[in-house]
Amino acid sequence: MREKDLGIWQTITWQQVAEQAAELANGLAALGVRKGAHVAIVGENRPRLYLAMMAAQYLGAIPVPLYQDAIAAEMVYVLQDAAIAVAVVEDQEQVDKMLEAREECPALKHVVYDDPRGLRNYLDEGLMSYESLLELGRDFLAANPEHVNQAKNGLSPDEPAAMFYTSGTTGKPKGVVLTHHALIDRALVIQELEGLTDREDVLAYLPPAWIGQNMFSYTQFLVTGFTVNHPESPDTVSIDMHDIGPTYYFAPPRVLEGLLTQVMIRMEDASALKRKLFHSCMGVARRVGTRILDKDTSVSLWQRLLYRLGDLLIYGPLRNALGMSRVRVAYTAGEAIGPDLFEFYRSIGINLKQLYGSTETSVFVCVQEDGQVRADTVGPPVDGVDIRVAENGEIQVKSPGLFKEYYKNPEATAESFTPDGWYHTGDAGYLDTDGQLKIIDRAKDVGKLADGSLFAPKYIENKLKFFPFIKEAVAFGDGRDEVCAFINIDLEAVGNWAERRGLPYAGYTDLAGKQEVLELIRDCVEQVNADLSTDPKLCASQVARFLVLHKELDPDDDELTRTRKVRRGFIAQKYSVLVDALFSGRDSQYIETEVKFEDGRTGRIAADLRILDAKVFSGDIKKVA
């Protein structure tokens, strides 16, 4: 492992990892942690938190990672549900949350912290430092030299290894219990598929509570033996990524969107000559970049020379600026990625591929193979996975990576499987002629307009979010005569656009209401409509009316999950007055909304929102670039 501390990369060897994990296991045993117990892990990616997960697994206990940005009230449900007695946390912020939650969670007896800053005067019972836990472990080892080894040797592959709580888009989170066998099996399959070795470098920068990050930087780290690098802080990720130059990279679409937005902002600020050169080279990349990456022999020598020139002038420096110069394999998952965004990265020589999976499947169900990468599929099933499509279009799965159960929820566990043992993914899609899986949307979200036309909201939202000015979108239309949408602007991108035009503004709400900004977003919506008009299935799903929300959708306001998935039903209910205004033909609507601040306080934001019409195209125009 590596960890950046005060600007310097510190290295931890495998020997040190093994020794410290054993000491921690003894320390947890001294606190009463036994086989089957749950241990909460809360914080950013830190080596010591990863070691704490290993220590719990040594004993046959089950680590339960929690999202570090969740407020105490959100953590209470998980702490109660899993009967957490010991929590290992990162710093003062997380300690404060645990102490607050402990009032409703009497089972929580011990809180261990990594970073001592700000905690000197904390004298709460059961609170201890990481170093104190190590010391406790050494004392316990001296008195019980075989306890941890006996616990470790008593484990079997089919016993629980970790528990991850679902994001709870439609209700209370459920604890997904994954076994040692399920996690290790999926990690080995991808190791073989991608030829991963112990020489890979991985950057651990996403929440450890998300199964995607946990698989890439924890399970695969232990199975394949590569190096995991922990950034100094979330604010230094781009700098630290540039330092490390990962070879194996994982990012959800929102991260890739953010990186592309930064690139486009910088290009807007560049000279006219540089902008012209950039757009000219990107034109070449769009035409032949992905074909060259896929080793297509039909690309002419002249086109290869032009691309090589573009690589020297634009693509190479761009990959370097993104910290992706050494990336050999990059995956995106978590939600569907817009085809334009996907092809942008591949066109500049980054081997970005899509995968499909979920917490319940230990991530890996389908993965795109080199040379068979397409923007509209997530690849074929990986080794060991069987897929079938039910009559209602739902994708169903059998896999060695399937979860053991939902914790203390046998009814939900039973409902997740068909009578003949296939797992209900809840996603709608189909296998195409060459065996690759196409995902349309969440099965419950796919609907029909009043005239019977297909309505796939996520597909529309992803196309809108390709534009750097649009951060989030929520589409409505099921059972309606037309499609309407809420839009969040990207404050950084639109703010930069406004500053270059001398357009003053005072914060998000003010900027989002500017007429110039509304026209900018209308242009983006109409470009999406022009593109949708070329799709016979989705031509009727063009966005007829939209509004720009007066506030950013936020997990703290329950509008997004901690993995930033839209809670569509909750948003429709919370902003029902805006939904009604969109579909009733009004030109504006006053709204007052309660918001939560990071310190727990609440406030209100009010605005009179303009509602705009967007041009809807007939189905016979040519696709726009």
Of 389, 422, 440, the one marking the end of a domain is 440
224 pLDDT exceeds 50? yes
In sequence order, the 6+-apart residues with CB closer than 8 A to the CB of 306 are 284, 288
Label residue 391 by pLDDT band (50, 70, 90): confident
The CATH number of residue 464's host domain is 3.30.300.30
Q: Please write the tens of the pLDDT for every residue from 394-423.
A: 999 999 999 999 999 999 999 999 999 999
Q: Taking Cα atoms as reference points, which of 51, 57, 74, 58 lies closest to residue 130?
A: 51
Q: Is residue 378 domain-shared with residue 232, that is, in the same domain?
A: no
Q: Taking Cα atoms as reference points, which of 282, 327, 284 lies closest to residue 302?
A: 284
Q: Is residue 37 domain-shared with residue 88, that is, in the same domain?
A: yes
Return the residue matching tokens 């629980």. Answer: 160
Q: How many CA atoms lie within 13 Å of 251's alpha carbon, on the beta-carbon side? A: 28
536 pLDDT exceeds 50? yes
**98 domain-assigned:** yes
Q: Please write the tens of the pLDDT for every residue from 571-583.
A: 999 999 999 999 9
The CATH number of residue 396's host domain is 2.30.38.10
**431 domain-assigned:** yes
The CATH number of residue 241's host domain is 3.40.50.12780
> Which spans in 271-368 are helix H?
272-293, 301-310, 316-322, 339-347
If you average pLDDT over each of 132-146, 336-350, 465-479, 553-567, which comes out highest?
132-146
**190 domain-assigned:** no
Q: Please write the tens of the pLDDT for every residue from 188-215.
A: 999 999 999 999 999 999 999 999 999 9
How far is the C-alpha of 509 from the C-alpha of 529, rounded, in Å? 26
Label residue 365 by pLDDT band (50, 70, 90): very high
Label residue 621 by pLDDT band (50, 70, 90): very low
Maximum CA pair distance of the chain?
A: 80
Ranking 284-288, 529-533, 559-563 by mean pLDDT, the lowest is 559-563
Of 407, 422, 440, the one marking the end of a domain is 440
Structural domain total, the chain: 3
Residue 112 bridge partners (DSSP)? 88, 128
Q: Is residue 42 domain-shared with residue 137, that is, in the same domain?
A: yes
**508 domain-assigned:** yes
Q: Please write the tens of the pLDDT for every residue from 21-78.
A: 999 999 999 999 999 999 999 999 999 999 999 999 999 999 999 999 998 988 999 9
Record the pTM.
0.83
Please give the residue range of the domain that contains residue 133: 2-155+196-249
Q: Is residue 150 domain-shared with residue 164, that is, in the same domain?
A: no
Q: Are 34 and 24 in contact (CB under 8 A)?
A: no
**278 domain-assigned:** no
Mean pLDDT of 462-489: 92
How far is the C-alpha of 41 from the C-alpha of 63, rounded, in Å? 7
Label residue 440 by pLDDT band (50, 70, 90): confident
Q: Is residue 172 domain-shared with residue 243, that is, in the same domain?
A: no
Q: Is residue 394 domain-shared with residue 413, that is, in the same domain?
A: yes
Of 413, 440, 467, the one marking the end of a domain is 440
Confidence at residue 624, expressed as pLDDT on a 0 to 100 scale:
41
In sequence order, the 6+-apart residues with CB closer than 8 A to the CB of 347 are 282, 285, 286, 289, 290, 293
How far is the C-alpha of 261 from the C-alpha of 142, rounded, in Å? 56
**27 domain-assigned:** yes
Confidence at residue 36, expressed as pLDDT on a 0 to 100 scale:
96
